A and B are shown apart, each in its own frame.
Chain A
Amino acid sequence: MSHPRPTKSDRAMKNLKLQKLLFYGLLFVMTAIYLGPFLFSLSISFNAEQDVFSWPIKLLPEEWTLDNYQRVWQDLPFGTWLLNSVTITVIQTICNVFFASLAGFAFARLDFPGKNIIFSLLLASLMIPGIVLLVPKFIILNEFHLINTYGGLILPGLVSVVNIFLMKQFFETIPKDLEEAALIDGCSYFRIFWQIFLPVSKPALAAVAIYTFQGSWNEFMWPVIVTTTRDMFTLPVGMAFLKNEFSVQWPLLMAGTILISLPTIAIFLIFQRYFVQGVASAGLKE
């Protein structure tokens, strides 16, 4: 019978507890940093007090009110902006889902002359910084009289190469025999796409939809350039305009920011899995 060694174990236990404490403390601080700004924005949006700069700055308002939200709808063309954003985003999302999957299918499953060249070109275009395209796109749209129109806002973003790439990658993982069985059964390629590939691609389609939605809803630079009158602003553009015009009315501004953020946060909460999946797989080798 030998005596158990007392040395390392006790110290190890204490170290472990301290480590755990530090860890959760760090986690708490980080969460506060990342969520804090939104919590304050939320708080100010409900604040009846218009002066948001009086110290001490408190997280919970002393006087609650919904006035700010009311004013956002009444005093500003928020409704118009909302309509614009929704129209553009919905159209772009639907079109992207449909056309990107269609094109992705073609690249994944069909053989045609020039396939590789075209695909390489598309991929290469991803390397072009968006900034270079701004001026020429603007001039082109101008020629077609599409500046400050829905057309100008929607058309350039109708189908994104990234989405085509995503769908192609996904379709390539579907076993070939599914398609071969359908061919023997006499399906046209469109049928195969519509009735066989699409139904099993829900996760990929969801990812495309969510990304397009988020990108379209939050898009700023292009709408800023393309719109010239207030009634054509999208929500982000409208908010930026607000900030410049109503720069001291913080509760109003904050109410606006919360309203704009609601759709994307709601969608993110509901479809969390797909967001995480898509971003994650983009960074890994296949």
Chain B
Amino acid sequence: MKLKVKNKEQSRTAYLFIGFPLLLFSIFTFFPIVFAFIISFYDWNLLIPDKPFVGLANYFELFQDKVFLIAIKNTVVYTIGVVPIQTLLALVLAFIMNQKLRGRAFFRLAFYVPAITSSVVTSIIFVWIYAKPGLLNYLLSLVGMEGTDWLTNPSTALFAIMVLNIWTTSGYFMISFLAGLQSIPASLYEAAKIDGANQWQQFWKITVPMVRPVTYFVVVLGLIGCFQVFDQIYVMSSGGPVNSTTTMSYFTYNNSFKYFRLGYGAASAIVLAIIIFGATWLQKKYVPSEAY
């Protein structure tokens, strides 16, 4: 009898405590997820009162939309380029940070600053750096090389933004790897030393395998982030030149909020979501997340 009373009180309190977040969640997450699907089956334009049901028409149109296909390609290239390099760089940075050095806190801050500054801020700074007469080309000229206008050259624009993103987020993931590295017991390295491993061998045979859970986490977050890259595209290139930097999220934005074709945009977002699910599912299935 007493137990039931206690539970009733707990339940009441609990619902009170989670009530507000749950409400927000329902309105701004749960319902929208369902709603997104529904909208994608309509020709829903904000400016036109008539919103007819069109079934899968939006989806068919998507796959015939040249820009959409380019967007898929760009997004995939972007992700495949950024995730591995960003992960490896973060691990290397963490490895360096883990050594005994003076002023460690300063260096850790230095590598982390890009990750905490606004994406708009870093984008603007890099627009300057990437300009034809900008810093990058100036530095290249010092070693006798000539650089192009990185952001207006269709063959280099996406690449330039990829480098910017690697620069930005590697510091963030470095911290994750640093924690992972510090959890590896020193005695493992000592045993390896006695077994005859040099620094390089220790890194590949001990550090990398032991840090696998963090690698998994970093790659998953990296994938999800890369697939949805938007800010830099908006600020630096508006999807151009010639759609060479139009990613899928930018495509969604354009169609939804520039052309106001909300149904069409929703459909493109759902396709992106499916791709993301596919990628993370593949990773879960084929990449081990445990160190041992």
Tell whether any CB of A sits under 8 Å from a CB of B in the complex. Answer: yes
Interface assignment of B21: CB less than 8 Å from any CB of chain A: yes
**Interface size in chain A (residues, C-beta < 8 A):** 94
- B99 contacts the other chain (Cβ, under 8 Å)? yes
Interface string of B227-242 (1 = CB under 8 A from A): 1101100110000000
| Contact with A236, one of B108, B120, B228 (Cβ below 8 angstroms) | B120
Contact A254 B234 (CB under 8 A): no
Q: Tell me the smallest distance from the CB of A78 to a CB of chain B, in Å.
A: 14
Interface-facing stretch out of A2-10, A64-72, A100-108:
A100-108
* Stretch from B153-161, B167-175, B187-195 that touches the partner: B167-175
| Cβ–Cβ contact B33 & A133, under 8 A | yes
Interface code B107-144, partner A: CB below 8 Å = 1, 0 otherwise? Answer: 11111111011111111111111010111001001000
A44 vs B134: C-alpha distance in the bound complex, in angstroms?
12
Minimum CB–CB distance for B262 against chain A, Å: 5
A235 to B121, CA, bound (A): 10
Q: Do B234 and A283 touch across chains, with their CB atoms under 8 A apart?
A: no
Q: Which residues of A contact B127 (CB under 8 A)?
A: 243
A138:B218 contact, CB within 8 angstroms: no
**CA of A170 to CA of B193, assembled, Å:** 38
Closest to A220 in B: B231
Q: Which residues of B contact A138 (CB under 8 A)?
A: 256-257, 262
Residues of B close to A136: CB separation below 8 A: 31-33, 35-36, 39, 266
Within 8 A of A (CB), among B171-212: 171-172, 175-180, 183
Residues of B within 8 A of A280 (CB): 175-176, 178-179
Name 25 A/B residue pairs within 8 A (Cβ), A-sorted: A26-B96, A40-B129, A99-B21, A103-B18, A107-B18, A111-B11, A122-B25, A125-B29, A125-B30, A129-B227, A132-B36, A132-B266, A133-B28, A135-B256, A138-B256, A138-B262, A140-B35, A158-B24, A161-B25, A239-B121, A240-B120, A243-B123, A257-B118, A276-B178, A283-B214
